[in-house]
Structure 1
Amino acid sequence: MRNLFSGLLKLIIYDPMKSFELKNIINFYQDSENKGVKTVLVSLVGLDGSSYRKQGVRMAIAQDGTMMGAISGGCVEKQLYRSALSVFDKNVSKVISYDGRYKLGCEGFLYILIEPFHLDKNDCLLILNAIEKRESFEIVSFYRKMDEIEGDFGSLFYINGIKISTNQYFVLPEENHFEKFNQTINPDIQLVIVGSEHDAIKLCRAASFLGWNVIVITSSKNTENRINFLDAKTVKFEPPETINFNFIDLFTSVVLMTHSFSQDFQYLLKLVPAPPKYIGIIGSTKRKMQLENKILDFLPNAELSFLDCIYSPAGLPIGAETPEEIAISIIAEITSIMSNKGLVTLDTSFVG
C-alpha cells in the first residue's frame, strides 16, 4: 500500500501567498477607496533566514487603521501601521527591516516594502478576473535592502501581457539599481467533492474556510444539497454517465465520497483521460485495490501513472474518527501533495 505517511513523517511547507488572500486585499482596497480612505500595500519582499510567513506574503493597511491580511502571526502589524503613516502623508514608498531574532521570535531578518496602493477600477477588475478564471500571473517588487529608507519603490502586476502599477507614483526603475523580488500567483486549490453525505458537508466547510474553490458533484437532485453546501462555489447535479471533468487543472484535487463502489468506479473512469494530481477515495485499502483492478480490466491500455494519483483511504493517518477529523486529515494530505516542495522526511520505520 502506498500512502504518504506509510513509514514516513512529513513536514509541510506552505506557499507564501494565496490568490484568495490577494482577492481579499483588492476587495478591501476597493471598500476603502469608496470611503475615501487611503490604503498602502505591505509586502514581505526580502528575507534572510526564517520567519512565520514566507517571502511574498502581502497585506493592506488603511489610513483609518483597519487591515486586511498579515505579514506575521500578529507581532508586527501595529508597528507596520505606525511606519505607514509617513507613506500616507507623503505618498512616498519606504522599506523597513525587522530582526526577527529579537522582535518576532523567529530566526530571520525581514525587509518589508510599504507603498501607496492605488488601482483604478479596470486594474482591479483585471486582477479579480484573473483570479476568478484561475490564471497564473506575476508580481514584481522593487526595493532596497536597507534598515529604513524612503524611495521610488513599488510593485508591478503582469497579467496576460498587461502591466499594472500598484500606484500612480511608481515609475519602473533601472533594474540594476534595485533589488527585485519576482513572485508567481497561482490559482488556489480547487477541490472537487463527489458525494453529498454528512462527511462531504464537513469537508466542504473546512476547505471553504481555507479559501479553496470547492465544487460539489452529486447524482442526487435533493434540494437540501443546495442548503447543505452553501459554502461551495458550485453544486453540480451530474451522474457519472454525463459528468465532464474538463474544468480540472493543475491545482485541482478530487475526493470521491459517494459511499457506493459502483458510483466511485464510474466517476473514476471519467477521470482517467485527464487525472488531477490527487484523487482521494473514502474506504479501505482492499476497496482501493478492487477499484484499481476493475479500472485496469475495463481499460487495459490505461496509463499506470493514473493509479499513482489515487490515495485511499483518503487522508493522513492521524487517527481520525469523526467526520470533522476525517475532513482535517484529507485537507492535510491534499495540502502536502499539492505543495510538492520542501518536504522534510524522517524515516520512522524503526518505531514500535
Structure 2
Amino acid sequence: MTHEFKNIIKEFVIAKNAGLKCVLATVVDLDGSSYRRPGVRMLIREDNVMIGAVSGGCVEKEVLFQAQSVFEKQIAKLMTYDGRYRLGCEGILYLLLEPFSPNESLIVDFNLEIENRSFFKLSTSYKKEYGKLEGFGTFIHLNSKVYAFNENTREQLNALTFTQNMPPCQRLLLIGGEHDTVQLAQFGINMGWEVTVAVTPKEDKIKADFPGIDDLLNYEPEDFPVETIDTNTAVILMTHSYVKDLKYLMVLKNSNPAYLGVLGPAKRREKLLSELLEHDMEVKMDFIENIHGPAGLNIGAITPQEIAISILAEILTVIRKTNPMMLKDKLKEIHH
C-alpha cells in the first residue's frame, strides 16, 4: 500500500497548487469480508475528483457524498458502508474521512523517506460511531518526527487506533534491455511498483527506451551496485546472454532480494548454477535455493505479455508467502 499512499501525496501537491482542498478516506475497520482491507486510502478533491479506491467501485460514490460535510466543516467524521444489503461484498466497512492538508515539512520528509527506501508508520484514531469525530485523524511517523495530516488532529486517549507499518515501495529490478523487458516493466508500473532497468553501456540504451520506469542503471555486470538491492526488491535476470547472466550472478550472490528469477529453461539454470559454484565454492546454498528459474508460474503463458503476468504472479506468491491455487478451491477466506 506504500505506493498508493505515495501517489496520494503526489496528487495532494497537485491539488494544493491548484487551490483545491482535499479529504482523505481511510478504511480503519471491517466486520465481515470486503473487496479491500483496512488501511486502504483514497483522496477526494473538492472538485469531486477521486484518487485511489477503497473498494471495487461500489463504495466510492457514497464516500464522495459523505466527504462534502468534511470539506464544509473541516472536521473528521466516521462513515459506514454495509455491503450486506447492497451489491458486492458481505461486510461492514468503517471509514474515517478527515481533512487532508499535510504541511510542507511533512511532504519533504516523506519524499526523503521514500527516496531512502525507509519504513514509516501511520496511526489513525477513530471510534465506531457514525458522525463527527472532532480532533480525530492520522499521524505519520517519519524517522524521529511525527506529523498530523491536518492542524486540528490531536492525540486521543479514549479511542481505537488503526496502525500500519509501511515498508519501502516494492521495487522491480529488471536486468536486461530486450523487448520482453519493456513488456514486464509496463506491467510492474501498472501495479504501482518502482521499476528499475539495468543494462550494460554497450547496449546503448536510454531511459526513454523503457517508458515510465523510475531509473536506468548502466554498468558492466562486475560493477553493478549490488548494495542498492534490498529485501523489498524483486530481481529478474533476463539478459538473454548466458555469459552476462553468469557475470551478474557472481555479483548478485552477495545480495538478499525478495525474489530472484532467471529466464530460460531448467537445463540452462542448472548449467548457470553449476558454473557459478565452480567459480566460487563459498556461495551460500540459501542463495542457490532461492533462485526461481524458469521464472514464472505455469499458466500456459505464450506471449511476452502473458509471460510477464506469470512472472509477476510468482513474485507475489513469494513475497506474500502464499501457494498459488484457484480461489474456488480455497476453503478459507481469501483475506486472513
> CA 1:127–1:103 in 2, change beyond 3 Å: closer, same or farther?
farther
1:112 matched to 2:90? The reply is no
Q: Partner residue of 2:8?
A: 25
- Look up the equivalent residue of 1:196 and give its one-letter code: G
Cα drift, residue 305 of structure 1:
0.6
1:130 matched to 2:122? The reply is no
164, 180, 184: which one pairs with 2:165?
Answer: 184
Q: What is the TM-score when the length of structure 1 is the normalising length?
A: 0.88
CA distance, structure 2, for counterparts of residue 240 and residue 261 of structure 1: 12
Q: Partner residue of 1:340?
A: 321
Q: Partner residue of 2:333?
A: none
Q: Partner residue of 1:143?
A: 126
What's the secondary structure of 2:133's corresponding residue? strand
CA distance, structure 2, for counterparts of residue 173 and residue 224 of structure 1: 54
CA distance, structure 2, for counterparts of residue 111 and residue 282 of structure 1: 44
1:291 matched to 2:310? The reply is no
What's the secondary structure of 2:250's corresponding residue? helix
CA distance, structure 2, for counterparts of residue 38 and residue 200 of structure 1: 40
Cα drift, residue 150 of structure 1:
3.5
CA distance, structure 1, for counterparts of residue 324 and residue 162 of structure 2: 26
128, 136, 147: which one pairs with 1:164?
Answer: 147
Cα drift, residue 36 of structure 1:
2.2
CA distance, structure 2, for counterparts of residue 37 and residue 194 of structure 1: 41
Cα drift, residue 79 of structure 1:
1.1
Q: Number of residues paired by the alignment?
A: 327
- Look up the equivalent residue of 2:95 and give its one-letter code: I
Cα drift, residue 344 of structure 1:
7.1
What's the secondary structure of 1:22's corresponding residue? helix
Cα drift, residue 124 of structure 1:
1.3
CA distance, structure 2, for counterparts of residue 337 and residue 225 of structure 1: 31
1:63 matched to 2:46? The reply is yes
Query: Could you say what the CA RMSD is over the residues aligned between the two structures, in angstroms?
Result: 1.8
Cα drift, residue 95 of structure 1:
0.5
CA distance, structure 1, for counterparts of residue 279 and residue 85 of structure 2: 62
- Look up the equivalent residue of 2:182 and give its one-letter code: I
Question: Is 148-157 or 253-262 further displaced after alignment?
Answer: 148-157
Q: Partner residue of 1:247?
A: 228
CA distance, structure 2, for counterparts of residue 222 and residue 47 of structure 1: 51
Identity of aligned residues (%): 38
Q: Report Cα offsets for 1:142-189 as digits up to 9, x if no partner.
A: 001124443331010001010000111111111xx1111010111122
Q: Partner residue of 1:11?
A: none
What's the secondary structure of 2:300's corresponding residue? coil
- Mapped contact 2:199–2:205 kept (Cα < 8 A): no
Q: Report Cα offsets for 1:79-115 as digits up to 9, x if no partner.
A: 1111111111111110111112223521221110001
CA distance, structure 2, for counterparts of residue 107 and residue 92 of structure 1: 29
What's the secondary structure of 1:164's corresponding residue? strand
* Within-5 A mapping of 1:213-252: 213-252=194-233
